Amino acid sequence: EIVMTQSPATLSVSPGERATLSCRASQSISSNLAWYQQKPGQAPRLLIYGASTRATGIPARFSGSGSGTEFTLTISSLQSEDFAVYYCQQYNNWPPITFGPGTKVDIK
Partner 1 sequence: EVQLVESGGDLVQPGRSLRLSCAASGFTFDDYAMHWVRQAPGKGLEWVSGISWNSGSLAYAESLKGRFTISRDNAKSSLYLQMNSLRAEDTAFYYCARAEGPYTSLPIDYWGQGTLVTVSS
- Residues of this chain that bind partner 1 (CB under 8 A): 1, 32, 34, 36, 38, 42-46, 49-50, 55, 87, 89, 91-92, 94-102
CA distance 92 to 62: 22
Pick between residue 44 and residue 66 the one whose CB is nearest to partner 1: 44
103-107 and 10-13 beta bridge pairing? parallel
Pick between residue 18 and residue 39 the one whose CB is nearest to partner 1: 39
CB of 17 vs partner 1, minimal distance in Å: 25
What is the dihedral sign for C-alpha 106, 39, 56, 53?
A: positive
CB of 16 vs partner 1, minimal distance in Å: 28
- Give the E-state strand segments of the chain in sequence order: 4-7, 10-13, 19-25, 33-38, 45-49, 53-54, 62-67, 70-75, 85-90, 98-99, 103-107
Pick between residue 15 and residue 26 the one whose CB is nearest to partner 1: 26
Pick between residue 8 and residue 15 the one whose CB is nearest to partner 1: 8
